[in-house]
Amino acid sequence: MAEGGDALVRIDEVGMTYVRGSEPVRVLDRLSLDIREGDYFALMGPSGSGKSTLLNLIGGLDRPTDGSIRVEGVDLGSLGDADLADWRARHVGFIFQSYNLIPVLTAFQNVELPLLLQPELSRRQRKEQVDRVLGLVGLSERSRHYPNQLSGGQEQRVAIARAIATDPTLLLADEPTGDLDHDNAEAILDLLDTLNRKLGKTIIMVTHDEKAARRAHRVLRLEKGGIVADRAGAAAR
């Protein structure tokens, strides 16, 4: 399934096996895939098909049992734990279904968190960047609000602002609209479209929602740890 030419992400014969009890469970099996800069992928499939596992491997949250993953030519398997954590902080933005905002921090402070891991940035630079990304997601006027003062859609937009605050190489979204009603889900998908088309962000999204998947350039269906279908999304037409 891997393609020729330069790839931002190159996944080569990746396998992932977990041990549950005393039984090994093969979650991914010799999966190969190339993802280019500016791509927008949707990963679909039944529970247990390996979608979120693949997302976590690409984001450096886990390591494959076998095979390799390279991002911008960097073999993630060659990095020690500290270097991998540093790479992840600088190159990957994560968006989760449950937002994962810290309730005692304002929207501004939540978005600022990943920037605190970059000591080369001054306080003024951090403020400018937080203000910029909150503006991008349409929440400048909510910067001093706490998560419990925001709607679900607004919380997810804060989470997206946090994910893009470091200008990451990859934006990884795991069921980003799963907890939202139709209108808020559409607004979040519109925002992801904007980040991809206008800012050139490379997005990989796990979703069970066919309507959400159609927003992507390419839709991959996983079953039993492998890619069983690969089709263009509506956005690629």
What pLDDT score does 232 carry? Answer: 85
Q: What's the whole-model pTM score?
A: 0.91
Q: Residues 141, 71: contact at Cβ < 8 Å?
A: no
pLDDT under 50 in the chain at which residues?
1-4, 237
CA distances from 14 to 3, 26, 53, 229 (A): 15, 11, 11, 17
Average pLDDT, the chain: 92
Q: Residues 144, 106: contact at Cβ < 8 Å?
A: yes
Q: What is the pLDDT of residues 82-112, one digit of tens each?
A: 999 999 999 999 999 889 999 999 999 999 9
C-alpha–C-alpha distance, residues 178 and 229, integer Å:
23
C-alpha–C-alpha distance, residues 70 and 93, integer Å:
17
What pLDDT score does 36 carry? Answer: 95
What pLDDT score does 234 carry? Answer: 66
C-alpha–C-alpha distance, residues 147 and 161, integer Å:
14
60 φ/ψ angles, rounded to the nearest 5 degrees: 75, 20
What pLDDT score does 235 carry? Answer: 61
What pLDDT score does 175 carry? Answer: 94
Domains and CATH numbers, the chain: 36-63+79-236 (3.40.50.300)
Torsion, Cα of 149, 152, 156, 158 (10° steps): -10
Burial of 179 (0-12, 13-18, 19+ CB in 10 A): middle
Q: Residues 181, 155: contact at Cβ < 8 Å?
A: no
